Structure 1
Amino acid sequence: MKEAIAKRKQIEHNKNMRKGIKNRVGEFLIENVIFVLGITSVLIVGLIFLFLIRTGLPLFSTVSPKEFFLGKYWFPVSVNPQYGIVPLIAGSVMVTLGAILISVPIGIGCAIFISEMAPPKTKTVLKVIIEFLSAIPSVVLGFLGIVVLSSWVRVTFSLSSGFTVITGSILVSLMAIPTIISISDDAISALPEEYKEASLALGASKWETIRYVLLPAASSGIIAAVMLGIGRAIGETMTVMMVTGNAAQIPNSFLVSGRTMTATIAAEMGDTVRNGTHYHALFAVGLVLLAMTTIINLIADYVLTKSKKEAN
């Protein structure tokens, strides 16, 4: 009897040993796979930077940095070519600013309604609509902008053309809103229920609880949502190329035509001579665009880190 019990214990011990070995091997493999994927992503980003630098910097052998960064005219195919990037930066900033002014209030407001006020059935329907909106291709939105929105802008503001910066901003905001809503909703919904219960128990109204408790507690997630929305807006290409008019000028309002950096690269890359000045100028524009998105991401990381420290 004792031998049978001892044998059974030995078998169980061997099984546990084998399970432990399998778990350790599995953890080792998972850790190394994650490490390799992380290093690979960093290398890919680094190679992209190197490629843009290698292809864009030769521009400055024929065009001075002052002319490129401070020039007010972008005429790369004229008799006297000019490669001033200021109109392209101004167009990108104006379109992005307009999109953020539209999408951030609507996105955060919708996220608050979905997470805290909407009935379960309404919440489900709204989430399906948001996912559907995020799945619409940008070229389809651009086509709707050409057919519908540009005419509305032209008639509403009594303009000669509806292909303006505000037209692009409205369409880009439609593309940024689903991202802002989804991430903000997740950030608010992930908060512990004790926050809400404690606030309500102290006599605060529902609106006071949302404004003074939930929103500050979820601020890091909301800031991340806004930054991702900005990244989506500043990197959009097809929609803005179709509806902003593509006039390489510094827009003095939202009701004039403009051109973004992304639209310039997409529209002109196919007509350039490889390794020509125009070719290198477009890669330099891409390098500036990548630098701008990197700065936005660094600002987002700084704000998120600061908000987490203040919360602790």
Structure 2
Amino acid sequence: MDSIKEKIQSKSKETRQEVTGKILSYSAIILIVAVVISIFAFVASKGIATFTQNHASLKDFFLTTDWSPTAVGKDGRPLVGALPMILGSFGVTLLAVLFATPFAIGTALYMTQIASKRGHRLLQIVIELLVGIPSVVYGFIGLSVVVPFVRTHFGGSGYGILSGSFVLFVMVLPTVTSMTEDSLRAVPSYYKSASLALGATEWQTIYKVILRAALPGILTAVVFGMARAFGEALAVQMVIGNATLMPKGLLSASSTLTSVLTMGIGNTVMGTVGNNALWSLALVLLLMSLIFNLLIKWIGRRGRF
């Protein structure tokens, strides 16, 4: 005990380095927290202005379909119905994750349970390459390949939620696959050994034991994939059609929160109704990111119990 007190009270080089390291660490943490709070405060102040300064109705914003911020309705309020964009964002996100999850789980199972070291390395390289491809490249591929494919085989103009889902499916696949692989590898090896020793086949062990033990991690991977898809802008914007109308189906041109934001934010003046309405869409995106993170934390806590 005395030696610890002497170390604290001493002015040795090691003690000074320890104190300096703590100061730098805490300063970095405070800076990160301040930046996050500042971003939330800035976006919230701009997004709320639509309802406090321009007197838009919160109910109309979430439940109506007329998006024309520069126009005024019969009640004298701006037409800022964001329901088509909200539904479009959820539509492409859920459909993309629905497509990606079976492929991601199958690939992760192959990499962890079946593949040889060479096969694992090959698939790992492919996944890393998919992660590194820029969004604009995915958008161009979607415009050149996916849109004509959908137009030929499903009908319509080719632009719509289905095309956006196909593009996002490829974009979120490496994220979900990598996290699912980590979850499967985290399952203790004696689970598999005990199951095989009790007479279960390898596929029964994978389905009944390994997948169930890794389920919280797999669900976390799926939510991460949803968060990745929900916030994607450029690639979706190039293939979805960008029509601020209620989607009538998977093949009709639609829009998402991010596509409307990227197309309109450069054409508005700060402080105007149109600009404030776009900031309101950004606030919805920010809140959705927070909800996704809270959901991930909740899944993690449930998995530990």
Q: Same fold (TM over 0.5)?
A: yes
Q: TM-score, normalised by structure 1?
A: 0.87
Using the TM superposition, name which of 99-108 and 66-75 deviates more.
66-75
CA shift at 1:91, angstroms? 0.6
What corresponds to 1:46 in structure 2?
37
2:70, 2:273 within 8 Å by CA — same for their partners in 1? no
Q: Summarize the Cα distance change of 1:188–1:284 in structure 2 as closer, same or farther, 3 Å threshold.
A: same
1:66 equivalent in alignment to 2:72:
no
User: For the structure 1 residues 32 and 113, does the alpha-carbon distance in structure 2 shift closer, same or farther, using more than 3 Å as the test?
Assistant: farther
Greater share of helix: 1
After superposition, the Cα gap between the structure-2 partners of 1:212 and 1:286, relative to the gap in structure 1 and judged at 3 Å, is: same
Q: Extract structure 1 runs of 4+ deviating beyond 4 A.
A: 21-32, 77-81
Partners of 1:23 and 1:255 in 2: CA distance: 66
| Aligned-pair CA distance for 1:77 | 4.6
Distance in 2, matches of 1:225 and 1:33, equals 33
Cα distance between partner residues in 2 of 1:226 and 1:67: 31
Equivalent of 2:80 in 83, 95, 108: 83
Structure 1, residues 248-296: CA drift from partner, whole Å, max 9, x if none? 1121321211100011110000100121010111111100111112112
Aligned partners of 1:66, 1:158: CA distance in 2, in Å? 35
Give the 5 Å matches for 1:33-182: 33-60=24-51, 61-62=53-54, 63-77=56-70, 82-159=79-156, 161-182=157-178
Q: Alignment RMSD, CA only?
A: 1.9
> How many residue pairs align between the two structures?
289
Q: Is the 8 A contact 1:227 1:300 kept in 2?
A: yes
SS of the residue corresponding to residue 273 of structure 1 reads coil
Q: Secondary structure at the match of 1:115?
A: helix
Shift of 1:192: 2.4
Identity, % of aligned positions: 38
The whole-number CA distance in structure 2 between the counterparts of 1:115 and 1:33 is 40
* Residues in 2 aligned to 1:250 and 1:229: alpha-carbon distance in whole angstroms: 25
Larger Rg: 1
User: Cα 1:251–1:188, aligned 2, differ >3 Å: closer, same or farther?
Assistant: same
The match for 1:296 among 278, 292, 299 is 292
Q: 1:208 aligns with which of 204, 207, 225?
A: 204
1:223·1:304 contact (CA, 8 Å) conserved in 2? no
Counterpart residue number, 1:191: 187
Q: Within the alignment, does 1:221 sit opposite 2:217 as a pair?
A: yes
The whole-number CA distance in structure 1 between the counterparts of 2:119 and 2:16 is: 46
CA offsets, 1:186-231, max 9 Å, x none? 1211322212111111111111111121122222221221111011
Q: Name stretches of at least 5 consecutive residues in structure 1 with no aligned partner.
A: 1-16
How far is the alpha carbon of 1:44 from its aligned partner? 1.4
| Structure 2, unpaired ranges of 5+ | 1-6
SS in 2 for 1:267: helix
TM-score normalised per structure 2: 0.89
Rounded to whole Å, the distance in 2 between the matches of 1:263 and 1:214 is 39
Q: Secondary structure at the match of 2:238?
A: helix
